[in-house]
Structure 1
């Protein structure tokens, strides 16, 4: 018995040690990512002409991924251009995260933000976190430990430090790869990595994350719960619309340009320029943080969510790089803001509800989304956010941001889906491919 406890303590100590190292490196790298993104975004906003160089930036990004992002291992192509899908496949043991993936996604994200592509930051943080975890595993040759857990820890560190939400980050790392299943054996390293990454970003490097404040939460009532359920269904439809358009654009451009990343991104850059000229402003280029924050305090253009949806779907669907969480936050929050005209609920509450529900539906991570609401909004409206996360998750069906996600449990008995199917395969079967 004593030997058994020694083994448990030894394993626990190793997970704490490796989780802390991953968190330390990823937290520092994420701080640089976020600070650099903020700086480049500010420069772009002051120099509107940079948008016209976006197609050139697309060529550079395409060149990087086509020439440095592909590695064949065990007769399997590991392509960094698959972004978060490669990370998820690595968690499932099907592919391997490339250590060069971190630097490549860094450069590609900076180029996308600097020249006006519509994107976020957490995608780069997650991929960089996974590549750091792979490097740590290889450096220490920790073969006695589960490599999949290393990758999950990197995901947790990246997400927790990117948004200042360490508890959410810990669970997101365990929940991201599969619907209906979490690997609780990864809890300790994911929690340590996320917290260390968060504190390195905020305490050591002094980065201050954006704050979204709910001014008023409606009193608990049956009518309000019914409104929240209805709204959550609407937000889930928003997420489905974005995911379908984004993947549709990707599949179509890959077919047209025969998976030539440079041509795809060059074409996408031209489309973004045309859309920007049509709109007459650059409100939907870059991260659009100003309007996202504004949606919590005052009315924004009623179709802002649609503008961001189209700009982001084209940007990421044609091969540019970045995160999708912030654009999803924007779409949900601004749609909630627009619905304020029709539904008698506080505007900041509607924006917050849209932000969380849209993220839950798009990412298929309802537990992480609920925890995100708790951390982001200081526990306000906890009952409503719980309902919103569950309802939006169920009604979004088996769609999502990342086609490589596996479905270990269908969301409802109404769905006739075999356990272990990926979202990508389910979509193919629906289309009869």
Structure 2
């Protein structure tokens, strides 16, 4: 007697799929993989184009800035031009490209989230000129935000020129931001991650991560080939890691977190105060510059401009005033709140290194080590970019 397979306890075996179904499935997979491959090639090409354009543009900006700083620093009281510089910077931005106002990064983030990355093309030349005027005359600001804004503006113009849709424009602009950060930092991988990470608090847009890497690397190679040199300070120390040392690092993290909060709140407070003053913007710019001149004469011109010499001294464990980080917060907040144009990352480095130097001095620890820890901690805390600090 023949017993059915199911009744005998054996599972029912499905018949093999037909040859036609197998071919259809394979054809579908080949099409999917081909589309994916073409998409990858497309974005590698577009990211390379953006990297070249942004690399060339930021090279022009960085070269102009270096030349202007070199010329101005030949005069002892160059910073007396701050009121006039702030008036000129404010007028350029107010009447020609209002989107260029601020330290750059926040306007780019706003454009990404609210306008799919659409940016006024005039932002690029206006931001470039206004930032050079501000920093060369002694304004306490950085060059990273403007480079990101320049990269975003060029990418947006590129997207409009070739009629990309909103989704692709947004991706291109993110690539431009990453290329801008990479060319100004001189760190293509960390700069690219920073450009993606700074747009989203605690997150990354992974679909554009590879194009951002490519744009960042290409932009860095272009700027390096064009003769751009980068600030670097080798660190020649290896800390003896013990449980006590770990506790000290944790305590310093709390201190640097407080410094990050204090920097952010100082920026917001001065900005709020500037808005509350019922004066014309050009008048506010004049008095903002005048206040900086007075502060520089009372304290020291070391808190003006980029402050790279003080950053270098701090990282070498040299002597830096204990309150240097507090004064830099004030100088930077006045600069950005009263008409100056520039970024915030270099001032963050200044605040971080000098705060770390002060922490080491107060507690009898290695000032160079904690200056380095302070630099990355302040950037992570003030810019909401914790991941990129592990890659620097």
**Aligned-partner Cα distance in 1 for 2:388–2:238:** 21
**2:176 aligned residue (133, 154, 167):** 154
**Aligned-partner Cα distance in 1 for 2:58–2:101:** 20
Native 8 Å contact 2:119 2:157 kept in 1: no
* Residue 68 of structure 1 pairs with residue 87 of structure 2: no
**Aligned-partner Cα distance in 2 for 1:274–1:50:** 13
5+ residue gaps, structure 1, are 71-78, 373-433
Partner of 1:385: none
**Aligned-partner Cα distance in 2 for 1:178–1:187:** 13
**2:110 aligned residue (65, 89, 97):** 89
Q: Which secondary structure state, in structure 1, belongs to the residue aligned with residue 93 of structure 2?
A: helix
Q: For residues 255-274 of structure 1, what are the structure 2 equivalents within 5 Å?
A: 255-257=276-278, 260-274=280-294
Q: Which secondary structure state, in structure 1, belongs to the residue aligned with residue 40 of structure 2?
A: helix
Native 8 Å contact 2:361 2:367 kept in 1: no
The worse-fitting range, judged by mean Cα deviation, of 224-233 and 357-366 is 224-233
Give the drift of 1:253: 0.9
**Would the alpha carbon gap of residues 146 and 51 (structure 1) be closer, same or farther in structure 2, given more than 3 Å must change?**
same
For these two proteins, the number of residue pairs brought into alignment is 361
Q: For residues 121-200 of structure 1, what are the structure 2 equivalents within 5 Å?
A: 121-143=143-165, 146-200=168-222
Q: Which secondary structure state, in structure 1, belongs to the residue aligned with residue 82 of structure 2?
A: helix
Give the drift of 1:207: 2.0
RMSD over aligned Cα atoms:
1.7
Per-residue CA distance 1:185-229 (angstroms, 9 max, x = gap): 111211111111111111x11322111222212122221111111
**Aligned-partner Cα distance in 1 for 2:165–2:125:** 25
Native 8 Å contact 1:215 1:348 kept in 2: no
Give the drift of 1:144: 8.0
- TM-score, with length taken from structure 2: 0.88
Give the drift of 1:91: 1.5
**Aligned-partner Cα distance in 1 for 2:322–2:236:** 21
Larger radius of gyration: 2
Give the drift of 1:84: 2.1
Partner of 1:308: 328
**1:241 aligned residue (248, 262, 266):** 262
Native 8 Å contact 1:257 1:264 kept in 2: no
Q: Which secondary structure state, in structure 1, belongs to the residue aligned with residue 362 of structure 2?
A: coil
Per-residue CA distance 1:241-262 (angstroms, 9 max, x = gap): 111111111122122136x432
**Aligned-partner Cα distance in 2 for 1:38–1:80:** 21
Partner of 1:330: 350
Relative to total residues, which structure has the larger helix share, 1 or 2? Answer: 2
The worse-fitting range, judged by mean Cα deviation, of 138-147 and 113-122 is 138-147
Q: For residues 256-405 of structure 1, what are the structure 2 equivalents within 5 Å?
A: 256-257=277-278, 260-279=280-299, 281-297=300-316, 298-372=318-392
Give the drift of 1:356: 0.4
**Aligned-partner Cα distance in 2 for 1:315–1:230:** 31
Partner of 1:42: 70
Per-residue CA distance 1:120-150 (angstroms, 9 max, x = gap): 1101101001001101111222338522211
* Residue 232 of structure 1 pairs with residue 232 of structure 2: no
**Aligned-partner Cα distance in 2 for 1:124–1:41:** 16
Give the drift of 1:80: 2.7
